Amino acid sequence: MLHALTNTPRDYAWGSSTLLADLESRPPAPGPEAEVWFGDHPGDPADLGDGRTLDAVTGGTLPYLLKLLAADAPLSIQVHPTREQAREGFAREAGIAMDDPARNYRDDNHKPELIVALSERFEALSGLRPLAETRRLVAGLGSAPGVVRLRELLAGDADPLRAALRWALADATESEVSEVIAAVEDADAADEGELDLVRRAADRFPGDRGVVVALLMNGVVLARGEGLFLRAGLLHAYVSGLGVEIMAASDNVLRGGLTPKHIDVAELLSVVDTTPGEVPVLRADAGAAEQAYPVPVADFALRRLTLDSAPRTIEVRGPAIVLATAGDVRVSVPGGDEHLVRVGAALYASEDETRLVLSGPGEAFLAEPGSPA
């Protein structure tokens, strides 16, 4: 069966009043609109339009959560656990109330993610920068005591990035953190490109320890249609832009700054992967009628479909969700009624539907379970 899906945007402070509104050709919102969830996650299951939510149909078994994400300011720096780490952590916190702000694990699942840019520019911090590049960058930040201490930690031989993260989040004095941030703001113009996202984080979160963490991370800019896969253990933070995000159905987040929320430094350090390196961008093929974004997980798969007026039959691994992101998107099953999916809305196809018929002209994203390992 096919079910129309909508949801109310979540009003997180980092959201935008215009990005989702512009996508849907409506006036700006009176406040921030950050995320629209299309899934059956108990935190905010999608609406079916008849008083029910999607979990009434699925039983809460959908292995992924699909979102529209609109960032006007940096999200918290965060990392997600492996499935094994999530199971152990969830069991360990069994005696902590689920709504306790100090709880780290809300479920026993991992949370790999994929973001695909819808805006012409989508900015993110992703992974820890190659160590030689970070050492070079910090070497140019002057000689304030906080900068000198950070430089000493990065020069170490035994996991220097983990040592630097621990110092930034727990051991550094407020004065040392302020000295590093001031040095970033005063840095030479030659480093402005690499430091731009860090400076903007400092403007939004003055004095936040996460600004020092951001200094250690890769800055990434996605063009429309490009994607970024975020594996377990990878530090990341979206900074600005509109995107389609898909993830395993989990709410396990360990934060590392740029947030007033709970930060458990010891737990974050037990989960984070400090292997440095650039995170590869999944490039876009602007002329492709169908583009896949291959990811090494079985929880989800995502395809971007460019549609014309001719109906196209597509094989799917149900349960699937079609999210309209441009133009007119029409969806049916062979021999069935046609549904018009408006931009910013979605359609759920139950697992017994193995073929969908789509037409445009328009653009849609198709989410489905991934191939079994």
Closest residue by Cα to residue 197 from 180, 177, 216:
216
Rounded Cα–Cα distance for residues 159 and 193 (Å): 27
Tokens 């699942």, residue located: 109
* Residue 129 a catalytic site member: no
Tokens of 123: 């900015």
Rounded Cα–Cα distance for residues 72 and 274 (Å): 28
Q: Which residues 6+ apart lie within 8 Å of 66 measured at CB?
A: 37, 38, 39, 244, 245, 246, 321, 323, 346, 365, 367
One-letter-per-residue 3-state SS of 18-78: CHHHHHCCCCCCCCCECEEEECCCCCCCCECCCCCECHHHHCCCCCEEEEEEEECCCCCCE
Q: 262 — phi, psi (to 5°)?
A: -60, 135
Residues forming a β-bridge with 113: 230, 247
Question: Catalytic pick from 129, 255, 304, 330?
Answer: 255
Rounded Cα–Cα distance for residues 25 and 110 (Å): 35
Rounded Cα–Cα distance for residues 10 and 36 (Å): 6
- Specify the DSSP element, H or E, that contains 176: helix 174-185
Sheet holding 355-359, edge to edge: 312-315, 355-359, 329-332, 339-341
Give CA angle at 190 (115, 208), nearest 5°.
55
> What residues are labeled active site?
255
